[in-house]
Amino acid sequence: MPYTMTIRRAASLASVVCAFLSQPSWLQAQGAVAGYPDLSPVEARETIAKRAGDPRFVLLDVRTPKEFNEERIAGAVMVDYLSPAFRDAMAKLDREKTYLVYCRTGSRSKGALKEMRELGFRHVLHLATGITKWKEAGYPTAR
CB 116 within 8 A of CB 90: yes
Specify the DSSP class assigned to residue 22: T
Gap between the Cα atoms of 48 and 57, Å rounded: 9
Four-CA torsion 47, 50, 104, 94, nearest 10 degrees: -90
Q: pLDDT of the chain along its 143 residues, tens only? A: 455 444 445 444 444 334 333 333 333 344 567 789 999 999 999 999 999 999 999 999 999 999 999 999 999 999 999 999 999 999 999 999 999 999 999 999 999 999 999 999 999 999 999 999 999 999 999 99
CB 104 within 8 A of CB 128: no
CB 137 within 8 A of CB 127: no
Q: What angle do CA 11, 17, 19 make, to 5 degrees?
A: 100
| H or E element that contains 102 | strand 98-102
Query: What is each CA distance from 140 to 33, 72, 75, 134, 135, in whole angstroms?
Result: 27, 9, 12, 8, 7
Overall pTM > 0.85? no
